[in-house]
Amino acid sequence: MYTEGVLPAPEPDRVFDWKKLKWIAQDMNSSYPTTIVVNPDTPCEAFLPTAPPHSWAWAKHAKQSDGPSDAAALRTLRVGGPLQGPVAHGLACGAHLIVNQGRFWNALAYHGHGYRADRRTLRTWWGITSRQQWQSQQRALLATDGARPVWEFTLGLRRALARDTGGRIENGAWWDTAANVLHRREGAPASTAETEAHIKDVQHLIGRITRYEARMRADGILGEGQFVGSVDAWDLGRASCMARWGVSTRYGDLAEAEAAVVEAGYRAAHCYASWEDFSAGFILGRCLHFDEDEFGSWYQEMVTVHRILTSDPGSPWRNIPFR
């Protein structure tokens, strides 16, 4: 057995499962070996007795500390994980989800929740069951094709208006511009049911965006008068994570993961001005995707993570330049 911080780098033919201490106390019986080796061939190697009559000791320790609880926490590998440079920057772009799960933000040699659990997660949430599907999804996220194009179209309209006016854009002007552009783009000089439905959807999206931005200002994610310019961060942050998930599930290898996280970091720096700017785009994208205007856990979890990453002295966002 290995403790989380000294797990060997992933190999093609060896995988790890993840257990809590209570597993040793409850499930190991007299049919198991009477001794386990913890962190073999490392400076902290230990030989420990298992199974009855030692189960009570494991049960006692399990009550005191049963391992990571998946609660949001900033955890850093001080040995074996990059702390500076392009790889660390790209890994920090995926910190929203990794920190939210209490995993090491800078673990490129990623084991996650264990081989079986991570494969199950990719199958359930992404429909990924093969290397080819993982590669396809990784490319799509890096190309920022995963988020709905209508989100970027709508935010792009506001960016264009802001450039033209040099000031804050009122919702009415944003609504009217969306209607005018869609009428011209869809070749509908007169109103059609399809065009009007499209306009209605975009105007509804404008309302959702402004409500989330207002809440984000109230929670300190956006400054007064600031707005989100792009939600590409939603794809790029997940691309950084997808690279690591590819390693933990053995759909990808370390070289592929490193190239992907570096690319994610490069594209993020091209699109955003700061970690705070990037974070706001990621949070808005996540909420548009999942939250349905409820300001529930999809939003609240990211507020917690944002505050950790922007305030903790050990945070990569406090120690790695965004550009």
Lowest-pLDDT range of 21-35, 76-90, 234-248, 309-323: 21-35
Buried b (16+ CB within 10 A) or exposed e, 108-125: bbbbbbebeebbebbeee
Portion of the chain with pLDDT greater than 90, in percent: 66
Does the pLDDT of residue 133 top 90, yes or no?
A: yes
Residue 14 has phi, psi (to 5 degrees) of: -140, 130
**pLDDT value at residue 242:** 98
pLDDT of residue 71: 86
Rounded Cα distance between 111 and 118, Å, is 8
pLDDT > 70? residue 68: no
Instruction: Kindly tell me if the per-residue pLDDT of 63 is higher than 70.
Output: yes
Q: What is the pLDDT of residues 18-57, one digit of tens each?
A: 888 888 877 777 777 888 899 999 999 999 988 777 778 8
3-state secondary structure of 36: strand
Mean pLDDT over 233-259 rounds to 97
Rounded to an integer, the average pLDDT of 70-91 is 94
Asked if 319 and 109 count as a contact pair (C-beta separation under 8 A), the reply is: no
- CB-based burial, 248-273: b 16+ in 10 Å, e otherwise: bbbbbebebbbbbbbbbbbbbbebbe
User: How far, CA to CA in Å, does 66 sit from each of 5, 22, 114, 202?
Assistant: 15, 7, 16, 48
- List pLDDT tens digits, range 165-220: 777 788 888 988 888 888 877 655 556 888 888 888 999 999 999 999 999 999 99
Strand partners, 14: 11
Average pLDDT, integer, range 237-250:
97
Q: What mean pLDDT is predicted for residues 74-83?
A: 93
Radius of gyration of the chain (CA): 23
Q: Does residue 264 surpass a pLDDT of 80?
A: yes
Task: Compare 238 and 59 and report the one with higher pLDDT.
Answer: 238
In percent, the amount of the chain with pLDDT more than 70 equals 95
Map residue 290 onto helix, strand or coil.
Answer: helix
What is the structure's pLDDT at 252?
A: 96
217 CB-near residues (< 8 Å, 6+ apart): 223, 224, 226
Instruction: Please tell me the distance from the alpha carbon of residue 268 to that of residue 257, in angstroms, as a whole number.
Output: 16
Mean pLDDT, the chain, rounded, equals: 90
The pTM is what? Answer: 0.91
Instruction: Write the secondary structure of 255-266 as one string of H (helix), E (strand) and C (coil).
Output: HHHHHHHHHHHH
Hey, how many other C-beta atoms are within 10 angstroms of the C-beta on 243? 29
What pLDDT, on the 0 to 100 scale, is given for residue 67? Answer: 61
